[in-house]
């Protein structure tokens, strides 16, 4: 965009500035409108899951409901507790929203990339990590026991789930050979736009693990312990009202949107789909945007479905799920991703194999054979690991269901 403006006769610094402002505006507007749509979408779909109808009065099918809610929150009183740390209390929602909006800088909209960082994946994870700071600020600054408990829980949860989340991305980075989201999307464009990573055993497991960990990162049910209403009111948001509460809400839903977008980009091929390459140009870009939004909102529907189905976990269940279930599986997935990469690109790793099987990236019989071998091998590894760890978890749960009298007598437990 900056180049086009320079050609129009603007000075180069000015054209960069104008292009950046336009991009920032588009991202902010797109993010907020997406968030507004998301709240409506979630409320409508969860209503139907609960045999209700949801907001359907304001505007066509209730689509304008988020706008009325926005006006409502903006006109509400903005109360700050007397003993709160005023500055921290004020800054917490800003930090939360800032962290979310930053991650939108690299998120692609279909095939349109606001910024193509070469370490975009890292950037997304890093900005996601900023959430815990905002949460802790809100919890501490409110000077409220429930807020502090919520903030502590939130930070503990975010730190625990960042590890499986980051490590679930490593297979994708390994398979692509790059951390750039644009390269990751391009790498999934084989098979007429359907070569998504989710169709490989490594990608499937990675998708499931990443999505689950992201649910916890976005504090979605069943991982909404920081906001557990029945225990600690609204967690770190307890002392917030009016516009500040709305900013928290905005940041939460925007980060959920970001999670859906990133999952769609990493595992579901981003804007790739049949027909995008054939159309090309602006039409192809629009089609890719439609594909991308469809994938993202389908993912969000799964989030809502999980919210409507699964009850909230306990804190210890949450932690053991992260460390005893997700983490081992993620490690195994990295292992099988390494096998996958080694098998599909073995000329780079082991030239001797090229002599036997021929060079990779050629669509001949031996290459299909290699693909088949890679699929079978990684499938065996992953399925075996899932079965083993599920069984171990099962037995572990079984063991701790009861404390026997002998154990009590021995002073165990």
C-alpha 189/C-alpha 276 separation (Å) is: 10
Assess 410 for contact with other proteins (CB under 8 A): no
Assess 298 for contact with other proteins (CB under 8 A): no
Smallest distance from the beta carbon of 384 to other proteins, in angstroms?
12
CB 158 within 8 A of CB 99: no
Number of other residues whose CB lies within 10 A of the CB of residue 62: 18
Assess 315 for contact with other proteins (CB under 8 A): no
CB 43 within 8 A of CB 300: no
C-alpha 225/C-alpha 391 separation (Å) is: 26
Among 115, 174, 306, 353, binds other proteins (CB under 8 A): 306
DSSP 109: B
Q: Which stretch binds other proteins (CB under 8 A): 40-48, 61-69, 334-342, 356-364?
A: 40-48
Q: At what angle do helices 281-309 and 242-267 cross, to 10 degrees?
A: 110
C-alpha 230/C-alpha 406 separation (Å) is: 35
Among 51, 77, 316, 355, binds other proteins (CB under 8 A): 51
Assess 50 for contact with other proteins (CB under 8 A): yes
From the list 168, 95, 167, 179, the residue with the least C-alpha distance to 131 is: 95
C-alpha 42/C-alpha 307 separation (Å) is: 10
Q: Could you give the count of Cα atoms lying within 13 Å of 175 in the half-sphere of its Cβ? A: 31
Q: Which stretch binds other proteins (CB under 8 A): 243-251, 286-294, 361-369, 382-390?
A: 382-390
CB 272 within 8 A of CB 194: yes
Assess 53 for contact with other proteins (CB under 8 A): yes
Assess 45 for contact with other proteins (CB under 8 A): yes
Smallest distance from the beta carbon of 389 to other proteins, in angstroms?
11
The CA-based diameter of the chain, rounded to the nearest angstrom, is 87
Assess 28 for contact with other proteins (CB under 8 A): no
Among 118, 348, 349, 403, binds other proteins (CB under 8 A): 403
C-alpha 244/C-alpha 238 separation (Å) is: 11
Q: Which stretch binds other proteins (CB under 8 A): 19-27, 50-58, 68-76, 360-368?
A: 50-58
C-alpha 369/C-alpha 375 separation (Å) is: 10
Assess 379 for contact with other proteins (CB under 8 A): no
Assess 83 for contact with other proteins (CB under 8 A): no
Among 308, 319, 342, 353, binds other proteins (CB under 8 A): 308
Tokens 């189905």 belong to: 309
Among 1, 13, 25, 52, binds other proteins (CB under 8 A): 52
Q: Which is nearer to other proteins, 320 or 354 (CB)?
A: 320
Assess 396 for contact with other proteins (CB under 8 A): no
Residues in the chain: 413
Smallest distance from the beta carbon of 51 to other proteins, in angstroms?
5
Smallest distance from the beta carbon of 308 to other proteins, in angstroms?
5
Name the site residues for other proteins (rule: CB under 8 A): 45, 47-53, 305-306, 308-310, 386-387, 390-391, 394-395, 398, 401-403, 405, 408
């Amino acid at each position: 965009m900056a180049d086009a403006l320079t050609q129009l006769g603007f000075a180069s610094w000015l054209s960069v500035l104008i292009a950046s402002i336009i991009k920032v505006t588009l991202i902010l507007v797109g993010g907020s409108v997406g968030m507004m749509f998301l709240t409506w979408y979630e409320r409508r779909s969860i209503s139907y899951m609960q045999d209700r109808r949801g907001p359907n009065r304001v505007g066509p099918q209730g689509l304008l409901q988020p706008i009325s809610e926005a006006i409502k929150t903006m006109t509400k009183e903005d109360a700050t507790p007397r003993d709160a740390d005023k500055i921290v209390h004020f800054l917490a929602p800003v930090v939360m929203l800032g962290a979310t909006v930053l991650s939108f800088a690299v998120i692609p909209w279909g095939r349109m990339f606001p910024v193509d960082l070469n370490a975009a994946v890292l950037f997304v994870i890093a900005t996601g990590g900023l959430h815990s700071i905002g949460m802790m600020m809100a919890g501490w600054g409110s000077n409220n026991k429930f807020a502090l408990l919520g903030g502590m829980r939130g930070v503990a949860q975010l730190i625990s789930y960042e590890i499986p989340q980051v490590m679930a991305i490593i297979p994708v980075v390994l398979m692509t050979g790059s951390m750039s989201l644009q390269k990751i999307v391009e790498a999934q464009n084989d098979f007429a736009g359907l070569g998504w990573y989710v169709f490989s055993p490594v990608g499937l497991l990675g998708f499931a693990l990443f999505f689950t960990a992201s649910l916890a990162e976005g504090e979605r049910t069943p991982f909404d312990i920081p906001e557990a209403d029945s225990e600690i009111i609204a967690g770190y948001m307890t002392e917030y009202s009016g516009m500040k509460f709305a900013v928290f809400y905005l940041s939460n839903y925007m980060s959920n949107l970001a999670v859906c977008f990133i999952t769609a980009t990493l595992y579901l091929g981003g804007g790739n789909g049949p027909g995008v390459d054939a159309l090309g140009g602006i039409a192809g870009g629009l089609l890719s945007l439609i594909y991308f939004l469809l994938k993202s909102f389908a993912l969000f529907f799964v989030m809502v479905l999980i919210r409507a189905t699964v009850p909230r976990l306990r804190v210890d269940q949450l932690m053991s799920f992260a460390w005893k279930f997700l983490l081992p599986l993620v490690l195994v997935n990295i292992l099988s991703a390494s096998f996958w990469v080694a098998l599909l690109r073995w000329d780079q790793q082991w030239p001797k194999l090229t002599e036997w099987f021929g060079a990779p990236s050629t669509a001949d019989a031996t290459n299909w054979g290699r693909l088949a071998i890679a699929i079978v091998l990684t499938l065996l590894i992953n399925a075996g690991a899932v079965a083993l760890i599920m069984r171990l978890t099962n037995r572990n749960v079984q063991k701790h269901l009861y404390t026997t009298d002998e154990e009590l007598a021995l002073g165990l437990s």
